């Protein structure tokens, strides 16, 4: 996104602010993805490697509805529903039958699911870059800062979804049951919570958020069959940074990773941004494996 | 037809070395490495840079004999694995898997962006094939001999390692890390050794591949082909079982190559979708194996503990 090579000392206030905005936008996308990872990891106890490709799938579902002439502000709703339905279907077809196996078998299975989803996207929508709308969106100029209208959509959209999630987790029976299961699965089960039903809810919500994250990423850059897979590392880093099973931590983690990646472009080649997420991930796991806000190891 | 069979077997042999390397890491020690392709690529590039004639495009080449290139490939993959292992092997298996995704991505970006070292996306050309012209027209057959020799050596080494006390400690770590730690074993040290050894084999496979195809670029090391398919081979064949690993390499490479026969018969407008269709097939195959026979075609059979056999024979007597 940003030019590199000036070093921190040579960067003006405007440039730092500009990077801050880039970081917030990227961080919001990571946060939405990380919430889903954190929810499924917290409740199902396995790292779902197909989460990035769920984002890709959601972004392409939205592309189909946009292609029908619907505005993107409407298209995201059927796309999120379709992605949620796919996630529930995948769970019923594969993961549900593997729940008694070691978590690592589920991990391998999700690795296979990731490849299946990616190849399906390539078969159905083609291997090339695509965009929701052609033409360049003119950025607003605000005192030397460049702000794309899409970024406002992304920031406001992410904030609204986070508030909605908060209300869902705090106020509804299903939300409370999800938090209970994340805290103590066995205790939740003996209390009479229908764990299988809550697992389906978890998949649906995680996948819907993944879908929106994918749409936002497609809005900010472009759509490509590997767009979600490439996000897997920063999204997991965000979830672990926030403490696994802590959706609120995942939001903070997403923003930290997004900002760190963007500010790193002042000193390193932007191609190595992944290295920043990797470094944060490894340092966190070694020095504070429960996450910044305290979660499970 | 015969030349196709030789070509097929060379690739099965190269994948066989890769799968045996992954088997040491995952099958023996339970370490989840999704960065197989990265070590494969490091081996391929290291040997290519060492053995090609000098060029101003990138580092080297150094025009060394192929066997020196192979040794450098093994050493380079091992050295990188050592550095990575030092910082990541403390992690739980699922976190290690995420970390290795990051490593694979960083190495793939280095191959693309550091042109002075790797010539970037243009790749490295004219990698010499050993024994070229020794027997006119039979270059590939001779190379198959070399690959099978390497594979046999690696297999022998892996079997020795599996049956040795060292292999027993790795299996103990895989089954119960805390108990192994309590028994006084330096768990991190054993895991690091297994990680480095497995990665060295992946580096060797990379060198075998580079000298076979004579041209490598970052595109050749996409995770689908360099990592995913290797995992499917190991799971299908049987994690922990070296013969299973080799059988998996043969069967899955057979399915993969056979699927090309199928996609070649698709209508032309489907031509661009042939690759993803084949990946889809392999992905579904993996799910079916996990659901129906997760221990693989040849399940692991650890050697019986010596103590147990002597006790049971005493009881019989």
What is the torsion angle, in degrees rounded to the nearest 10, for the CA atoms of residue B25, residue B31, residue B35 and residue B40?
A: -10
pLDDT tens-digit profile of B93-138?
888 888 898 899 899 999 999 999 999 999 999 999 998 878 887 8
- Which residues neighbour B44 within 8 Å (Cβ) at sequence distance 6 or greater? B73, B206, B207, B209, B210, B216, B220, B221
pLDDT band at B306 (very low <50, low <70, confident <90, very high): low
Residue B125, sorted as left (phi over 0), alpha (psi -120 to 50) or beta, turns out to be: beta
The C-alpha atoms of residue A192 and residue A174 are separated, in whole angstroms, by 13
pLDDT tens-digit profile of B200-213?
999 999 999 999 99
pLDDT tens-digit profile of A22-77?
999 999 999 999 999 999 888 888 889 999 999 999 999 999 999 999 999 999 99
The C-alpha atoms of residue B252 and residue B265 are separated, in whole angstroms, by 20
pLDDT at A10 over 70: no
The C-alpha atoms of residue B307 and residue B83 are separated, in whole angstroms, by 38
- Of B218, B155, B211, residue with least CA distance to B24: B155
Contact state of A274 with B99 under an 8 Å Cβ cutoff: no
ipTM of the complex: 0.89
Write down the pLDDT at residue B312. 46
Q: By CB neighbour count within 10 A (0-12 exposed, 13-18 middle, 19+ buried), where does A128 fall? A: exposed
Give chain B's contact residues with A (Cβ, < 8 Å): 30, 32, 34, 87-88, 90-91, 93-95, 97-99, 101-103, 105-106, 109, 112-113, 224, 228, 231-232, 235, 272-273, 275-277, 279-280, 282-284, 286-287, 290-291, 294
* CB atoms near residue B217 (< 10 Å): 16
Mean pLDDT for B261-271 is 83
Q: How many CB pairs under 8 A join A and B?
A: 115
Q: Can you say how many angstroms the Cα of residue B140 is from the centroid of all Cα atoms in its chain?
A: 21
The C-alpha atoms of residue A75 and residue A222 are separated, in whole angstroms, by 16
> Which whole-number Å values give the CA distances from B84 to A258, B37, B38, B195, in the listed order?
24, 15, 12, 9
Contact state of B286 with A109 under an 8 Å Cβ cutoff: yes
Q: Can you say how many angstroms the Cα of residue A273 is from the centroid of all Cα atoms in its chain?
A: 17
- Judging contacts by C-beta atoms under 8 Å, the chain B residues touching residue A271 are 109, 112-113
| Percentage of residues of chain A with pLDDT beyond 70 | 94
* CB atoms near residue B121 (< 10 Å): 12
Mark out the alpha helices in chain A (DSSP H runs).
13-44, 51-67, 72-90, 96-98, 103-125, 149-171, 173-183, 185-190, 195-220, 232-242, 247-264, 273-287
The C-alpha atoms of residue A162 and residue B217 are separated, in whole angstroms, by 43
Q: B233 vs chain A: nearest CA distance in angstroms?
A: 12
The C-alpha atoms of residue B206 and residue B14 are separated, in whole angstroms, by 8
pLDDT tens-digit profile of B276-305?
999 999 999 999 999 998 889 999 988 877
The C-alpha atoms of residue B43 and residue B114 are separated, in whole angstroms, by 17
Write down the pLDDT at residue B313. 47
Element (H, E) at A147: strand A145-147
The C-alpha atoms of residue B22 and residue B37 are separated, in whole angstroms, by 11
DSSP SS3 for B305: coil
pLDDT band at A9 (very low <50, low <70, confident <90, very high): low
Residue in chain B lying closest to A284 (CA): B91
């Amino acid at each position: 996104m940003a030019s590199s090579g000036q070093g921190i000392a040579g960067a003006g206030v405007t440039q730092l602010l500009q990077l801050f905005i880039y970081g917030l936008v990227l961080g919001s996308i990571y946060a939405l993805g990380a919430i889903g990872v954190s929810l499924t990891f917290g409740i199902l106890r396995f790292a779902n490697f197909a989460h990035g490709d769920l984002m890709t799938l959601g972004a392409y579902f939205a592309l189909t509805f946009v292609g029908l002439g619907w505005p993107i502000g409407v298209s995201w709703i059927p796309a999120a529903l379709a992605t949620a339905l796919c996630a529930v279907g995948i769970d019923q077809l594969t993961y549900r039958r593997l729940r008694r196996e070691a978590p690592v078998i589920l991990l391998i299975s999700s690795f296979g699911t990731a490849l299946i989803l990616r190849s399906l996207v390539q078969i159905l929508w083609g291997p090339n870059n695509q965009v929701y709308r052609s033409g360049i969106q003119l950025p607003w100029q605000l005192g030397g800062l460049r702000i794309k209208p899409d970024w406002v959509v992304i920031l406001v959209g992410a904030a609204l979804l986070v508030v909605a999630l908060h209300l869902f987790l705090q106020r509804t029976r299903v939300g409370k049951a999800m938090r209970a299961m994340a805290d103590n699965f066995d205790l939740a089960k003996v209390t009479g919570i229908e764990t299988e039903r809550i697992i389906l809810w978890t998949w649906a919500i995680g996948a819907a958020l993944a879908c929106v994250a994918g749409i936002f990423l497609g809005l900010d850059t472009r759509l490509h069959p590997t767009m979600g897979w490439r996000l897997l590392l920063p999204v997991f880093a965000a979830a672990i940074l926030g403490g696994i099973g802590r959706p609120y931590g995942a939001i903070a983690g997403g923003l930290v990773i997004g900002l760190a990646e963007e500010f790193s472009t002042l000193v390193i080649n932007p191609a190595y941004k992944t290295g920043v997420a990797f470094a944060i991930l490894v340092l966190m796991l070694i020095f504070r494996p429960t996450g910044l806000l305290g979660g499970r190891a | 037809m015969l030349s196709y069979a030789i070509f097929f077997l060379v690739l099965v042999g190269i994948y066989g070395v890769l799968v045996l390397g992954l088997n040491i890491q995952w099958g023996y020690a339970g370490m989840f490495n999704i960065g197989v392709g990265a070590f494969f690529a490091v081996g391929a590039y290291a040997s290519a840079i060492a053995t090609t004639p000098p060029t101003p495009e990138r580092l080297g080449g150094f025009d060394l004999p192929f066997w020196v290139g192979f040794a450098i490939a093994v050493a380079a993959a091992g050295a990188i694995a050592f550095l990575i292992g030092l910082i990541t092997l403390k992690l739980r298996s699922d976190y290690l898997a995420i970390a290795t995704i990051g490593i694979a991505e960083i190495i793939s970006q280095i191959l693309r962006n550091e042109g002075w070292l790797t010539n970037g996306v243009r790749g490295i050309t004219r990698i010499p094939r050993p024994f070229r012209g020794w027997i006119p027209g039979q270059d590939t057959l001779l190379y198959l001999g070399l690959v099978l020799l390497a594979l046999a050596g690696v297999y022998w080494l892996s079997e020795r390692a599996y049956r040795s006390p060292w292999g027993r400690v790795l299996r103990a770590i895989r089954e119960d890390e805390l108990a192994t730690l309590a028994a006084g074993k330096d768990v991190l040290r054993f895991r690091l050794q297994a990680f480095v050894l497995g990665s060295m084999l992946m580096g060797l496979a990379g060198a075998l591949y580079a000298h076979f195809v004579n041209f490598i670029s970052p595109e050749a090391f996409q995770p689908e082909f360099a990592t995913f398919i290797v995992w499917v081979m190991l799971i299908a064949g049987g994690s922990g079982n070296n013969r299973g690993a080799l059988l998996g390499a043969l069967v899955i490479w057979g399915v993969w190559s056979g699927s090309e026969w199928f996609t070649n018969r698709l209508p032309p407008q489907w031509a661009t979708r042939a690759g993803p269709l084949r990946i889809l097939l392999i992905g579904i195959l993996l799910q079916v194996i996990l659901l129906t026979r997760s221990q693989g075609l040849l399940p692991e059979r650890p050697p019986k503990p010596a103590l147990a056999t002597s006790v049971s024979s005493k009881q019989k007597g």
